[in-house]
């Protein structure tokens, strides 16, 4: 009896402690959080910002009260600022309650960040994110901790789509078109990919950003790639792993050791002239910092009979750069978008007007897309498609189109990014969660990758010239 009474007393004490902690958390949440710009330099993030602790709790998160206060602040800010007052059908207050206990129980900074990341992913939103301090800094300097190999499921195999120059993958000898049969102890064989189509998708999913596509073939590859990412998922800011890749190339098998490193991909503009005279303009980011360079590139292709804008792998960026870029292809004022923002418990809508460019390019256009084409890049693609009749060639886009106005600063320097703006195209397309469908679907093939052929570009060129595309 005595032990039962003592156990009950201890349980009541724990409940009382939790209630006090929740009260402190609610009071702290009311104070709000400071903010930094969503992109560009951040004065509070030093260049030597360290990864989050994997072996314990820093002073900012040392107590249960501190961890609950942080979790409550994230819940409150998202609840007040998220552009959709219905949260896409998600019961956001209930989500907040469900993640309070895991936040309180976190034993390391990395565990706490993982709880917060998983919590906001319940919204299934492409831009609402919790970032560690290092992740926030890396975003601003266009750096990603990566092997440098972009992987995709092609013809039922895990294949290398691209390899960044001077990356760990390039130094290890990986090539486009290599088939990856295993990474460490994870085997990616037919049985794995078959099972991926029958197993339920993880919910929430913090390993993937892109929305589910509509094309049957892409849905299969989407589910299979998500399964790959899920088994390779790491803890936030975990030390870069060195992995053993089992590679199949030209009928032979071998193994390579591939590390991971911070790879910087700064904004870049490339111009190419095809033999037909068709010009190709490749953009890897949307940022106002290279506007002069981009203006020069557009002037250099003004005489081309047609233009291909290559947005494959472009994650988007500055909304202002989208506005400027769209203007360069319009000969009259247009209203290509409606902005959707929050007004208390309701939504407010406002049309976006874009003036005509001074010397716009008005000849035929094609836009190259893939599953990594996102955000502002998707805004440009849908604008040129609806307003200029541009061809969309390649694969479906990401379906990741909302706006982040600021990044709230978490204790210790992390960041909370909240989607405060939604977009609807003039044609009525709700862009977040609904990828753009290509007018000419050109899925990757192993033969094209291994021969280094760009079939999507070839199809775009032929279509612009009025030639058969098959």
Domains of the chain, each with CATH number or no CATH:
17-140 (no CATH), 144-264 (2.30.42.10), 269-464 (3.90.226.10)
> Is residue 251 helix, strand or coil?
coil
Mean pLDDT value across residues 382-393? 98
With a cut of 90, say whether residue 95 has pLDDT above it: yes
**Which of helix, strand or coil describes residue 241?**
coil
Choose among 113, 127, 114: nearest CA to 81: 127
| Backbone φ, ψ for residue 117 (5° rounding) | -60, -45
What span, in angstroms and rounded, lies between the C-alpha atoms of 279 and 298? 10
List the Cα angle 212/213/215 in 5-degree steps: 140
How far apart are the C-alpha atoms of 64 and 104, rounded to whole Å?
A: 5
Give the H or E element holding residue 128: none
Could you report how far apart the first and last alpha carbons of the chain are, in Å?
83
Mean pLDDT computed over every residue of the chain: 92
Task: Label residue 15 by pLDDT band (50, 70, 90).
Answer: very low
Query: Sorting pLDDT into bands at 50, 70 and 90, what band is 188?
Result: very high
Q: Confidence band (pLDDT; 50, 70, 90) for 25?
A: very low
Name which of 200, 207, 265 is nearest 232 in CA terms.
Answer: 207
Tokens linked to 115: 């709880």
The residues with which 254 forms a beta bridge, in sequence order, are 247
User: Is 280 a residue whose pLDDT tops 90?
Assistant: yes
pLDDT tens, position by position, 124-180: 999 999 999 999 999 999 998 899 999 999 999 999 999 999 999 999 999 999 999
Largest CA distance in the chain: 92
**Can you tell me the distance from the alpha carbon of 402 to that of 379, in angstroms, rounded to the nearest whole number?**
10
Under a CB-based contact definition with an 8 Å cutoff, are residues 222 and 210 in contact? yes
Q: Do residues 310 and 280 touch, judged by C-beta distance below 8 A?
A: yes
* 403 touches 350 (CB < 8 A): no
pLDDT digits (tens, 9 = 90+) for 208-217: 889 999 999 9
Q: Is 367 helix (H, G, I), strand (E, B) or coil?
A: strand
What φ, ψ does residue 324 adopt, rounded to 5°? -65, -45
**Alpha-carbon torsion, ordered 288, 290, 296, 299, to 10 deg:** -40
> What's the CA gap between 228 and 251, in Å, rounded?
23
**Are 328 and 309 spatial neighbours (Cβ–Cβ below 8 Å)?**
no
Q: How many Cβ atoms from other residues are within 10 Å of residue 22's Cβ?
A: 19
Least confident of 11-15, 254-258, 337-341: 11-15
What's the confidence (pLDDT) of residue 239?
87
CB 261 within 8 A of CB 167: yes
Runs of H (alpha helix) within 82-188: 92-105, 109-121, 133-140, 168-172
385 Cβ neighbours under 8 A, 6+ residues apart:
367, 392, 436, 439
pLDDT at residue 24 above 60? no
Residue with tokens 């977009």: 423
Helix and strand numbers (H, E) in the chain are 13, 20
Distances (CA, A) of 183 to 228, 231, 255, 366: 10, 10, 10, 37
**For residue 21, is pLDDT > 70?**
no
Position 118 pLDDT exceeds 80? yes
pLDDT > 80? residue 2: no
> How confident is the model over 438-460, as pLDDT tens digits?
999 999 999 999 999 999 999 99
Does the pLDDT at position 17 exceed 50?
no
Task: Give the Cα-Cα-Cα angle 33, 38, 43 (nearest 5 degrees).
Answer: 75
Q: How large is the C-alpha radius of gyration of the chain?
A: 24
| Percent of the chain residues topping a pLDDT of 70 | 93
Residue 10 is predicted with a pLDDT of 44
Q: Is the confidence at residue 243, as pLDDT, over 50?
A: yes
pLDDT digit string (tens) for 311-366? 999 999 999 999 999 999 999 999 999 999 999 889 999 999 999 999 999 999 99
Is the pLDDT assigned to residue 275 strictly greater than 80?
yes
Report pLDDT for 23. Answer: 42
6 pLDDT higher than 90: no
pLDDT at 241: 86
Mean pLDDT, residues 232-259 taken together: 93
Distance between CA atoms of 165 and 168, rounded to whole angstroms?
A: 9
């Amino acid at each position: 009896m005595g032990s039962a009474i003592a156990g009950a007393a201890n349980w009541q004490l724990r409940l009382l402690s939790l209630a006090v902690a929740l009260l402190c958390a609610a009071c702290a949440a009311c104070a709000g959080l400071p903010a930094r710009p969503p992109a560009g330099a951040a004065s509070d993030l030093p260049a030597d910002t360290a990864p989050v602790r994997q072996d314990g709790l820093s002073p900012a998160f040392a107590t249960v009260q501190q961890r609950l206060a942080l979790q409550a602040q994230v819940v409150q800010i998202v609840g007040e600022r998220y552009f959709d007052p219905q949260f896409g059908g998600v019961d956001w207050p209930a989500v907040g309650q469900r993640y309070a206990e895991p936040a309180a129980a976190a034993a390391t900074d990395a565990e706490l960040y993982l709880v917060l990341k998983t919590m906001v992913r319940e919204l299934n939103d492409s831009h609402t994110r919790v970032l560690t301090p290092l992740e926030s800094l890396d975003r601003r300097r266009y750096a990603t901790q990566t092997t440098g190999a972009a992987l995709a499921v092609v013809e039922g195999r895990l294949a290398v789509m691209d390899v960044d120059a001077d990356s760990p993958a390039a130094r290890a000898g990986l090539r486009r078109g290599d088939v990856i049969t295993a990474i460490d102890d994870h085997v990616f064989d037919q049985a794995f990919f078959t099972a991926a189509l029958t197993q339920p998708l993880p919910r929430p999913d913090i390993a993937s950003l892109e929305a589910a596509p509509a094309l049957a073939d892409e849905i299969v590859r989407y589910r299979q790639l998500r399964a790959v990412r899920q088994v390779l998922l790491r803890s936030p800011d975990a030390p870069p792993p060195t992995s053993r890749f089992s590679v199949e190339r030209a009928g032979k098998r071998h193994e390579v050791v591939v590390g991971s490193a911070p790879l910087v991909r700064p904004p870049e503009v490339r111009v190419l002239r095809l033999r037909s005279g068709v010009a190709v303009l490749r953009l890897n980011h949307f940022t106002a910092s290279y506007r002069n360079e981009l203006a020069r590139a557009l002037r250099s292709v003004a005489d081309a009979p047609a233009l291909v804008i290559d947005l494959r792998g472009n994650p988007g960026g500055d909304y202002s750069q989208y506005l400027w870029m769209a203007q360069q292809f319009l000969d009259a004022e247009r209203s290509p978008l409606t902005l959707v923002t929050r007004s208390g418990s309701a939504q407010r809508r406002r049309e976006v007007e874009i003036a005509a460019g001074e010397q716009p390019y008005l000849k035929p256009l094609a836009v190259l897309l893939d599953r990594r084409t996102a955000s502002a890049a998707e805004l440009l693609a849908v604008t040129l498609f609806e307003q200029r009749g541009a061809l969309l060639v390649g694969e479906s886009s990401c379906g990741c189109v909302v706006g982040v106005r600021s990044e709230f600063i978490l204790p210790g320097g992390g960041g909370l990014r909240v989607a405060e703006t939604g977009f609807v195209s003039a044609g009525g397309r709700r862009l977040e969660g609904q990828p753009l469908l290509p007018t000419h679907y050109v899925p990757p093939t192993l033969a094209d990758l291994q021969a280094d052929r760009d079939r999507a570009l070839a199809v775009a060129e032929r279509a612009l010239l009025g030639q058969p595309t098959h």
